Amino acid sequence: MQRWKRTLALPVTMVAIALGFLIALQAQTQKNVSAAEQISEQRMSQMKAVLVNSQEQNALLQERHKDLSEKLDLARNQVGTDPQLLVHLKQLKMLDGTQEVEGPGILVSIDDRNKKVTFPLYTDEILRMINTLKLAGAEAISINGQRIVGSTDIVLSGSSTILVNKVPINRTEGNPYEFSAIGDQETLLDYVSQLDGKTLKDRGMTVSIARKTLRIPSYKGSYSFKEARSLADSGA
């Protein structure tokens, strides 16, 4: 009887140890899962907060743009119909992006959903594309409907939402990123195809460039200066 008990004691002990190890491992795994879920919820909450704030800012900017446009129209009526003044005013609006424009140019479509693509399109790659278009002499540029102006900011919100002028521009299902640029078509096409287009294709993305007559929308935000002031106003 004693010998039988001694023979059984070792297996029972080993089973007990293994069972205790599994219970501890399960508890730790559950703890890790809970922590991961909590972190994920926090990140999602932060992303939503950033997006809501950006949308609110965009709504305020659109209201201010509307107000300034009305004041500009009023000022235009007050100064009369001087042709030179009106032409100069229109040129200024085209330069600052507050005037919708139309003309020949190129449409660059970039699709990063190919299976060969390890990482999606980066914000710095968007900036490089815009700089290339400017270098090629583009007179007006937009990406997914957002006009590029001097104050345009291009940032990543959360892990995947790209904001341009504080507006999300991520491609919708079935549609790629689209850069519209007005300027000399041959020069624009040559620069993009030889520089950024080639680099993105090497990364596995689908890049297409087409010559088109484009209509580029106006900038819907507004310009505000808190510190900068005109030297003409100060008499300097």
pLDDT above 90 covers what percent of the chain?
A: 31
What pLDDT, on a 0 to 100 scale, did the predictor assign at position 38?
Answer: 64
Contact 217, 147 (CB under 8 A): yes
DSSP letter string over 71-108?
A: HHHHHHHHT---HHHHHHHHHHHHHHT-S-EEEEEEEE
Contact 26, 184 (CB under 8 A): no
What pLDDT, on a 0 to 100 scale, did the predictor assign at position 130?
Answer: 93
pLDDT tens column, 193-230? 999 999 999 888 999 999 999 999 998 877 777 777 76
pTM: 0.62
What number is the average pLDDT over the span 10-20? 55
CA 126 to chain centre: 8
Name the residue with higher pLDDT: 155 or 8: 155
To which H or E segment does residue 179 belong? strand 177-182
Q: In the block, which residue shows the tokens 């004693």?
A: 2
Closest CA to 193 of 147, 234, 111, 133: 133
Any idea which of 77-81, 94-98, 129-133 has the lowest mean pLDDT?
Answer: 77-81
pLDDT at 18 over 70: no
pLDDT at 12 over 70: no
Q: In the block, which residue shows the tokens 């990063």?
A: 112
Task: State the Cα angle at 32 between 31 and 33, rounded to 5°.
Answer: 90
What number is the average pLDDT over the span 65-74? 71
Judge residue 147's burial from the number of C-beta atoms within 10 Å of its C-beta, 0-12 exposed, 13-18 middle, 19 or more buried. buried
Contact 176, 111 (CB under 8 A): yes
pLDDT at 177 over 70: yes
What number is the average pLDDT over the span 156-170? 86
Contact 133, 181 (CB under 8 A): yes
Name the residue with higher pLDDT: 41 or 203: 203
229 three-class SS: coil
Question: How far is 63 from 68, CA to CA, in rounded Å?
Answer: 9
Contact 201, 150 (CB under 8 A): no
CATH domain 1-221 topology: Alpha-Beta Plaits (3.30.70)
Most confident by average pLDDT, 41-55, 84-98, 121-135: 121-135
Closest CA to 140 of 103, 87, 167: 103
